[in-house]
Chain A
Amino acid sequence: MKRSQQNAGHDEQLAGFDEFVGRVESRLRVALVATYGAHDGRAATVDALSWAWEHWAQIQWMDNPVGYLFRVGQSATRRYVVRPIPFERYELSADELLGMSTELAEAIKRLPVQQRTVVMLVHAFGWSQRDVAATLEITPSTVKAHLDRALTRLNNDLELRDAR
């Protein structure tokens, strides 16, 4: 009797988690892919959702689970980087971002990570600035500032190349 109750409880949790994955996975994956590229971004999504499953009692009641899991995914990406010596505190170089060598991709790779994330989410994935702010847990004005700076840098970078 007790075992069947436990099984039922587990099934219920699993069903809830499955529904949760269906609800948040896309946004989480897109946000992490925008930041870390297809490979690492997806791996970070798996890591973050795994963390969510292990902390299901905690995560299911959060107001903004995608924002929280985005941070968990960011932490996870630290493990993917082979550290050079001497150590430097650095962001992912985004070398694998897209695996593309187009001028645009190269210019995006050179952006600071937050500018890159914001400009990708807004212009490559069509997110509203409000959605970006909610997911990254930053203010809309910060999103706009990152976006303006990113676009300025992108435009300058691409124009410079065109002029050569």
Chain B
Amino acid sequence: MPADLENDMNDLGARLLAEAPPVTTDEVLRYTAERRSPTTTIDPLITNVPLTDITDITSVRRPRRRSVLVASVAAASVFAVGLGIASRDDREPDEVAIGATPSPTSLASAPLGTLATEVVADLAWPPRVVFDDGFGWMIEELIEDGQSLVETGTAFYRNPELGELVVNYLRSGDEWPVPMDDDSIEVATISMLGRTWWSTAAHRSRWSGQPAPTRTGRR
């Protein structure tokens, strides 16, 4: 490397470090404490969306945007498959929130919740797992490519408002506590995972007692 370039590089390094002072233990502990403090918030993005009673919205506020994979226990079958895909494709989330919806559905799917937890434990880069009471959540981090987005846009036929909400949220890049019912979560999750649809459906059939759909969509 030419000497003048080497000097410029050294200068660059010095300037960078001047702008990035050392991180202290206190700062780390403060940041960790902030991350752990759940607060109930209402996202401005969703206040105009009459999807649900906004008093049901619970989120975990963090100082920065997070990549979070969230699902209600009722949607845990989808959740588990999604996590498997995420892990395999190196798209694992940093954090996983499992909402325990207090309903008969969640009781029935408790084994799936356990399965989801086991899948999380197998991730190469284990995310932080948050068990949160309250409303359902949905997958975010797995949407990585344009194809998935197209599928997301077209597959919200059962809930176009939700589809619009998703797109607006993704466009904004904000944190998103998502209010929706469990059924919507499954639709949304399946849509976003795209290619996991069939395995998800097959997985669900084990619990519903219904035969798994074929690849043409017929039972």
Given A25-B23, A87-B149: A78 in contact with B94 (beta carbons within 8 A): yes
- CB A55 to nearest CB in B, in angstroms, measures 8
- A interface residues, Cβ below 8 angstroms from B: 14, 17-18, 21-22, 25-26, 29-30, 33-34, 37-39, 41-43, 45-47, 49-54, 71-72, 75-76, 78-83, 85-89, 98-100, 102, 104-105, 108, 119-120, 123-126, 151, 154-155, 158
- B interface residues, Cβ below 8 angstroms from A: 1-2, 5-6, 8-10, 12-13, 15-17, 19-25, 27-29, 31-32, 35, 64-67, 92, 94, 125, 128, 141, 143-146, 148-150, 167, 170-173
Q: Is the CB of B171 within 8 A of A125?
A: no
Q: Which partner residue on chain B sits nearest A90 by CB separation?
A: B144
User: How many pairs of residues, A versus B, come closer than 8 Å at their CB atoms?
Assistant: 134
Given A88-B146, A104-B8: A25 in contact with B16 (beta carbons within 8 A): no
Q: Note all chain A residues with C-beta closer than 8 A to B148.
A: 87
Given A54-B32, A104-B8: A46 in contact with B27 (beta carbons within 8 A): yes
Given A21-B28, A82-B173: A104 in contact with B9 (beta carbons within 8 A): yes
- Alpha-carbon gap, A119 to B29, bound state (A): 32
Q: Interface majority SS on A: helix, strand, loop or mixed?
A: helix
- CB B62 to nearest CB in A, in angstroms, measures 9
Q: Is the CB of B66 within 8 A of A38?
A: no
Q: Note all chain B residues with C-beta closer than 8 A to A108.
A: 12
